[in-house]
A and B are shown apart, each in its own frame.
Chain A
Amino acid sequence: MPAKGVTGQEGLDTFPKLLLHNARTLPDHPSIREKDLGIWQSWNWSEVLEEVRALAIGLQKLGLQAGEKIAICGENRPRLYWTFVAAQSVGAVPVPVYQDSVAEEMAYVMEHAGAAFVVVEDQEQVDKLFQISETVSCIRHIIYDDPRGLRDYQEENLHSFKDVQEKGRKALRDAPQAKTGWEETINAGKGSDISVFLYTSGTTGRPKGVVLSHDNVLITARETAILEGLRPDEEVLAYLPMAWVGDHIFSYGQSYVCGFCVSCPESPETMLQDLREIGPTYFFAPPRIFENILTTVMIRMEDAAPLKRKLFKYFLGVAKEYGEAILNGENVPLKGRLLYALGNILIYGPLKNTLGFSRIRIGYTAGEAIGPEIFRFYRSLGINLKQLYGQTEAAVFITVQPDGEIHADTVGVPAPGVEVKIAESGEVLYRSPGVFVEYYKNPESTSETKTGGGWVHSGDAGFFDDRGHLKIIDRAKDVGRLNNDAMFAPKYIENKLKFYPNIKEVVAFGDGRDMCTVFINIDLTAVGSWAERNNVPYASYQELAANDLVYDMIEAHVDEVNAGLAREPGISGSQIRRFLILHKELDADDGELTRTRKVRRAFIADRYAPLVTALYDGSEMTHIETEVTFEDGRKGMIAADIQIRDMQTYEPPTSMEAAQ
């Protein structure tokens, strides 16, 4: 039962076939846009076909063979997206690499994948490649998109993207049959062919190369496009890393399946302005983006004129009371509907317009738990924000929240074609057409993860609630026990704290220990603004983090969380007994966070071992020196004296109180 926009796609089982199809059926429909010199430039599907064909033939002329790997590294750029399909059209496999990875990380992935070609965005990446070229011997050719600063580079194996395309165009002029030959190769492709390697960011150990077939990506992309009724006229902003499976599905897979246009921001810093200009109808963002936007809005409202501030506060209250119910299509009294309509004219409409959210039909968030307050805020404004649960190994979709059944604390019901069950151990298992082929050159991990009957171990602990919705607690292997045998789910506790705007990151300790303790990173934007309004002087993150008033404020948050934890059966034993505020922000460059900004708990525990010891030896102050890596790769030391605070815990309510 195909939906509008995704009809008549039988036999279109690979990306290159879809490209030919889109160029035939939607020749003048925009396919991709980028902002260049302040102006949005777009290419329609027939132009994209021409560009991709020239590139593919050019790559062949340079010696690219079927089965070879071609690494892709850079910000979201049309030419880099074209490289995916050009490579696939000649049977080569694209391997996107995180553009902000340091040289060694990049070297590992390229070496492991055996990349013969690398296509990069600019000089920065070219320099990194030359830096690693001694250790990575498999790279034969490097191709760059932006020529700035590369004029004087003489290396023979370095080519500009335009030159490679020119080679292809020349070959096509000299031998017109090359065009039909290329199309024949495409038509010979099968859905079971390998389409892409996506390296997982790896909270532990080396990244693993997840091998996905065209079927994996396209069936998943198509099923969910049908579920959400996606059409060719959707607008999407491609701003998340190209190496991440989410971007691969939302900005590439679904764009090719539905034919909708994807816009690439001018630069990562202009993303919020570009968002406003494009006004996407279909938008994906990890929770931290929604958090950042909300924090910015709240800070700016603090500085607004009193009347505006009052209006904002009042109508936010109205939205909180009626907004979600209206969005869910429930019964709402007439008064509520009228007030909400007025609020929409005065506050919600203009606010959504400023944020670029006016046209959103479907918004997704995933990757981490989102704070219930944040989630409800957006929904109450009338933005259809939904949670989904996914993994690279599943080509994203495992569960998704159906319209009208949205709960802040669950991730929804199994996506179309996906079966989910809970193992004895509490681990979530799934089986779907999107399930990956294997981990590249790693049969051991493949057989550990993919077991009998095609079931995949997600590594997450969770359960279905009484509404049939999946609820994820934590990584299965992270769920531990305190010495008094109380259950300890670190991420659950961390998330509860992170929902406070003043707290940016949290690391919880407790497995195999006597009590639960936490490291806290304050949010410099939110706490900085608070400091400004309350005349608290500070010169740096470190100084603000050590301030007594900041400690008092965080202590109040921890106290509230403890009170909340006390009411939850099973977990009330792991209330937070001691906490400290870290003297530096956790940073991916120091290896403390993954590239997708997840805390690497074991690494942090090791790096800050003296602090962990201090949390458990009862001391009130401790001294630490830490090595930090600056953005240019140099290292330095910072030293600090850190205060540790004790917290009181709450008794779990007796069954009498709980019944009330």
Chain B
Amino acid sequence: MSPEPVQTRIFEEEILSVSDVSLSFGGVKAIQNVSFDIKRGEIRAIIGPNGAGKTSMLNVINGFYHPQEGLIRFKGKARRRMRPSIAAAQGIARTFQNVALFKGMSTLDNIMTGRLPRLEKGIFGEIVNVFLQAAYLGPARRSELEQRKYVEEIIDFLEIQHIRRTPVGRLPYGLQKRVELGRALAMEPELLLLDEPMAGMNLEEKEDMSRFIIDVNDQYGTTIALIEHDISVVMDLSDRIIVLDYGRKIADGTPGEVQSNQAVMDAYLGVPHE
């Protein structure tokens, strides 16, 4: 129960690297010459004041924005332009700052949609599949059962059995966030991007969510990159932290290093004007 992290974990293999990435919208420079890497198995946090470019960075990583300059390497392969669907198929999943679930669908169905990228089988296969699915026969039935089993394991993992059949629109915010995490997990991602997973939560919900993030990292071995404003949560959870300010990287290192960095303190606390 000591407040200090038990020990620093060491990670070797690089899963994602970002080199000299710049992104601008017209005259607004959202990201300027940012470079960093994410190692397989670690929990990496991106922090920074409002408007620092954190969400833009996530959007660049999962291919929603295309940077004007710079290179992104995922699992050793460089890519310049990529669509989010391809990023998803390659193993990058994410959750959103404002929950983006299908409100009229049940928890179960929402998480099932996370399995869809696993089912793609070309247009002909799809047509055959539609009929099989309608008749609930053969491979369709088998595949449905397999997917459902995987989803049930996630439901068990996140302890949301009691809302399995509840339309997510009726759930409180904290639970919706958990369902969204479940949907991302259903994709069996190698890299999971979480955009403010704890925004708007009370203390107890935050503790639950932290627990789940640690468990996902521990049990599924998923690499996690997260944006979060609650600094104490970030310090407790993450192995390494990147600090952005006005689109530039101002610090990168372990929680201890970042905490004692002068530039970071200035960015958060402000600098006196002479």
Contact = CB atoms under 8 A, between A and B. Distances in A.
Interface of A: 37-39, 148-149, 151-152, 266-267, 269-270, 273, 630-632
Contacts of A39: 152
A632 B162 contact: no
Contacts of B157: 148
Contact of B149 (A37, A152, A266, A632): A37
B215 interface: yes
What are the nearest 5 A-B pairs in CB distance?
Answer: A269-B162, A37-B152, A38-B152, A270-B162, A266-B161
A631 B162 contact: no
A303 to B, nearest CB: 13
8 contacts: A37-B153, A37-B155, A37-B156, A38-B148, A151-B219, A152-B218, A269-B162, A270-B164
Interface residues of B, number: 18
B204 interface: yes
B164 A38 contact: yes
Contacts of A37: 149, 152-153, 155-156
A632 B164 contact: no
Interface in B122-180: 148-149, 152-153, 155-157, 159, 161-162, 164-165
B115 to A, nearest CB: 15
Nearest to A270: B162
A630 B164 CA distance: 27
A514 B203 CA distance: 45
B165 to A, nearest CB: 8
Given A149-B215, A630-B204, A631-B204, A38 B155 contact: yes
B207 interface: yes
B204 A267 contact: no
A269 B175 CA distance: 14
Contacts of B149: 37
Contact of A38 (B159, B161, B218): B161
A269 B164 CA distance: 11
Given A267-B162, A270-B161, A632-B207, 10 more contacts: A37-B149, A38-B152, A38-B155, A38-B164, A148-B157, A148-B219, A151-B219, A270-B162, A273-B165, A632-B204
Interface in B173-203: 203
A74 to B, nearest CB: 15
A103 to B, nearest CB: 13
Nearest to B154: A37
A541 to B, nearest CB: 15
Contacts of B162: 266-267, 269-270, 273
Most buried by B among A151, A267, A631: A267
Contacts of B207: 632
A238 B215 CA distance: 30
B85 to A, nearest CB: 29
A152 B9 CA distance: 15
Contacts of A266: 161-162
A194 to B, nearest CB: 37
Point out which of A37, A273, A631 has the most chain B C-beta atoms below 10 A from its C-beta. Answer: A37
A151 B217 CA distance: 13
Contacts of A630: 203-204
A267 B203 CA distance: 23
Contacts of B156: 37
B214 to A, nearest CB: 9
B6 to A, nearest CB: 11
Nearest to B149: A37
B208 to A, nearest CB: 10
A263 B148 CA distance: 23
Nearest to B152: A37
A151 B219 CA distance: 9
A34 to B, nearest CB: 12
A38 B155 CA distance: 9
Contact of B161 (A269, A631, A632): A269
Interface in B57-92: none
Nearest to B1: A131
Contacts of B219: 148, 151
Nearest to B157: A148
Contacts of B161: 38, 266-267, 269-270
| Most B CB within 10 A of own CB, among A38, A151, A632 | A38
Contacts of A269: 161-162
Nearest to A36: B156
Interface string B81-125: 000000000000000000000000000000000000000000000
Contacts of A152: 218
Nearest to B163: A269
Nearest to A37: B152
Nearest to A146: B156
Contacts of A273: 162, 165
Contacts of A631: 204
A267 B160 CA distance: 10
B54 to A, nearest CB: 29
Contacts of B164: 38, 270
B152 A267 contact: no
A270 B165 CA distance: 11
A148 to B, nearest CB: 8
A634 B148 CA distance: 39
A269 B148 CA distance: 21
Contacts of B159: 267
A416 B264 CA distance: 78
A268 to B, nearest CB: 9
A31 to B, nearest CB: 23
A632 B162 CA distance: 21
A154 to B, nearest CB: 13
